[in-house]
Amino acid sequence: MENCSVLLDNCTDLFETNTTLLTPESPEPIQSCGEWKPAQHNLFQLSNLFFAAAFLVPRSYKQGIIILRALLSVGFFLQAVWSGVHVCSGDIVVWSSVLGLLNLGHTLALTVRLIPPPLSPELTELYLRMFSPLKVSRKHFKELTREANVMMLDSGDAYAIEDITNADERLSILLKGKLKVSCDNMHLHYINSYQFIDSPEWEAGHVSSDELFQVTITAEEDSMYLCWPKLKLDRVLRHRPTLKVILSNLIGKDITQKLYWLNEAIGLSCGAGKESSSMTTCDHWRKVMPRSLSVDAVDTGTRGHVRSIAWRKQANNRRDSSVFSDCELTFILTI
């Protein structure tokens, strides 16, 4: 009996011990910060200022994303220096350096993509005069002129000879110098800088091929022009329909100006503006036709509206002889 009593006591002690071991410990109470640490080093504060500035950059313009990435890069690099010198934390150094390098690479890639490509002085002037007023970006202009060649023409050399030179193989813009256009040794008009040389022939080439120049174009002085081969220009315009529309409008305006200059030159040579008896020596088609109001209302960009000397004279005569006031005349012309 004594042995059973001792065994029972041992089992009771073992049960109590296991019960004590299985009882879960009570969680420690959450302690509030008894004492705040002082502010971190100025490098840490400066890095966060760069982060704040990066996220405050407006997104309304293209360069905003470049500035954002650049500010983030500087902020992460400052944080890496702070963590390596003052905190001595390897993981913060590694993460900050990796994030800084990623943002720096993104910044360089965006800079290469968005910064306007450089242009030569001649092409820059051409862009500012003809394409910039029509909201063509430098990137698209560079893409357009990449397929063109800058050619030189000495004084007296011929750009095209009537009935000999093919008219549907190229399109050119005069960059510098002066060209003379003649037909059967009769002077028609001049081509000055930043005007198309063969815009009528280019437009006629869309209707029929294998056409020849009907005029002779020679250089009055040493000249330089930008020339697009037809196949290369068609390939660019096929991929850039906006450029195709803009170039078509520029060519149409140039053709209109050439036709009016030619018409006015013929009219002046035949004594346009004189008495009707003096005009009997001229054929009916040689009479000068004043520019229509619709064409004169076309805005040409930086150089204002298309206006001719003959139109201005007739406008002054109409204003002098009209009984309408200036305001009424402006209203009529606007209609």
* pLDDT tens-digit map of 149-175: 999 999 889 999 988 888 878 999 999
Q: What percent of the chain has pLDDT over 70?
A: 67
Smallest Cα–Cα separation from 194: which of 123, 140, 142, 245? 123
- Tracing tokens 């934390």 back to the chain, one arrives at 89
- The 3-class SS string of the chain reads CHHHHHHHHHHHHHHHHHHHHHCCCCCCCCCCCCCCCCCCCHHHHHHHHHHHHHHCCCCCCCCHHHHHHHHHHHHHHHHHHHHHHHHCCHHHHHHHHHHHHHHHHHHHHHHHHHCCCCCCHHHHHHHHHHHHHHCCCHHHHHHHHCCCEEEEECCCCEEECCCCCECCCEEEEEEECCEEEEECCEEEEEECCCCECCHHHHHHCCCCCCCECCCEEEECCCEEEEEEEHHHHHHHHHHCHHHHHHHHHHHHHHHHHHHHHHHHHHHHHCCCCCCHHHHHHCCHHHCCCCCCHHHHCCECCCCCECCCHHHHHHHHHHHHHCCCCHHHHHHHHHC
Predicted TM-score (pTM) of the model is 0.59
- Higher-confidence residue of 6 and 113: namely 113
Give all strands of the β-sheet with 149-153 in edge-to-edge order.
Answer: 149-153, 223-229, 170-176
Distance CA(182)–CA(99), nearest Å, equals 67
Residue of 287 and 202 predicted with greater confidence: 202
For 29-57, what is each residue's pLDDT tens digit? 666 676 777 778 888 889 899 999 988 98
Q: What is the pLDDT of residue 308?
A: 52
**Amino acid, res. 188:** L
pLDDT at site 275? 46
Q: How many residues does the chain have?
A: 335
Q: What is the CATH number of domain 121-274?
A: 2.60.120.10
Query: Would you state the pLDDT for residue 309?
Result: 55
Query: pLDDT per residue over 98-108, tens digit each?
Result: 999 999 999 99
Read off the pLDDT band of 316 (50, 70, 90).
low
Higher-confidence position of 252 and 308: 252
Residue with tokens 């007023």: 133
Residue 27, CA distances (Å) to 18, 22, 24, 32, 114 in order = 21, 15, 9, 15, 58
Whole-angstrom CA distances from 109 to 66, 72, 105, 289 are 9, 15, 6, 57
> How high is the pLDDT of residue 326?
46
Question: Model confidence over 246-294: pLDDT tens digits?
Answer: 999 999 999 988 888 777 766 666 554 554 445 444 454 455 555 554 4
Mean pLDDT rounded to a whole number for the chain: 76
